[in-house]
Amino acid sequence: MAVAVKNGDLAAARAHVPVMAAEVREILCARPPQLIVDATVGTGGHAAAMLAATDARLLGIDRDDAALAIASERLADFGSRVILCQADFGDIARVMRENQMDSADAILADLGMSSLALDDPERGFSFKLDGPLEMRMDRRGPLRAYEIVNEDSEQALADIFHLWGEERAARRIARAIVESRRRRPIETTGELRLIVESVLGSHRRGGVHPATRTFQALRIAVNHEMESLAALLADAPAMLAPGGRMVVIAYHSLEDRAVKERMRELARGPGYAAVTRKVVRPSEGEVARNPRSRSARLRCIERVAQ
């Protein structure tokens, strides 16, 4: 079913500058690519910049139908150079094969949350906006945060918060959730936020809200993000053409650790070389303009031409 673009969403997407857009364009388009795969195309920010700078074709992949609807309109001027697919980025090899693409000259995966989804209370991603406990990137999926919060055991909840949120108070938060849901189901992001605050208080050192790690962990669990990232890192490098480059932008330590270890592993063996010897971070000016970029970490690997 086609998704209608909400009033103002396309304009907002065009106005938003994607994270480290100049760095991505410089690294991936240093040698003019023929085929670019944007594995997390979102609303098309990075894609538009790369298409404008090259004559390449682009395959855009994303799980979010609402983001793809905006990307479709935003990239319409590039015509047949663009193919968009709703899929998990971990399925990049399958999606490329289904579109008769054997290899790509550039692959991008920006693992950050889309502002479009984050700022929509109905999507349930943010503790700052009260809405249903959803958190599905692909709304065709059966699992919501609601099911995890209200049906998983206390131990399972603690494991999720510890593993995917690196939350030190995981057990106490899980216990508070179970005690609260005994009285009635926990239905909204606001209710969950208050439960976390009842355990940790409403402030933490460093200005990070106490609910941040809990919400991150739930989002990762709902969307199987680490499993998808593992699949991407396993399969995507082999889909690069000789001389092709792959950029991954990570936003938290779990993601960045996996990316760093995989790229180091590849660079130690034959066939690949590290393009970024050190992690690339956004400039102070970019962070000032877009505070959500502050945790971004960019790494790049290249398939060595034989």
Distance (Å, rounded) from C-alpha 50 to C-alpha 38? 10
Where in the chain is CATH 3.40.50.150? 9-116+226-303
9-116+226-303 has CATH 3.40.630.40 classification: no
Q: What pLDDT does 202 receive?
A: 85
| 8 Å CB contact between 3 and 84 | no
120-223 has CATH 3.40.1080.10 classification: no
Nearest to 244 by CA among 108, 110, 109: 108
Q: Which residue has the tokens 């593992």?
A: 230
Strand partners, 36: 58, 106
Binning pLDDT at 50, 70 and 90, where does residue 276 land?
A: very high
Q: What pLDDT does 1 receive?
A: 41
Q: What pLDDT does 39 receive?
A: 98
Strand partners, 38: 60, 108
Look at residue 6 and tell me whether its pLDDT is greater than 90.
Answer: no
The per-residue pLDDT for range 132-156, each reduced to its tens digit, is 999 999 999 999 999 999 999 999 9
* Cβ count near 105 (within 10 Å): 23
The per-residue pLDDT for range 202-247, each reduced to its tens digit, is 877 667 899 999 999 999 999 999 999 999 999 999 999 999 999 9
Averaged over 7-11, what is the pLDDT?
Answer: 65
184 CB contacts (<8 Å, ≥6 apart)? Answer: none
Helical segments of the chain, H only = 9-15, 21-28, 45-53, 65-74, 92-98, 115-118, 145-151, 154-165, 170-183, 189-200, 212-223, 225-235, 253-268, 284-289
Where in the chain is CATH 1.10.150.170? 120-223
Q: Which residue has the tokens 């000032």?
A: 288
128 CB contacts (<8 Å, ≥6 apart)? Answer: 209
Q: Which residue has the tokens 């150079």?
A: 81
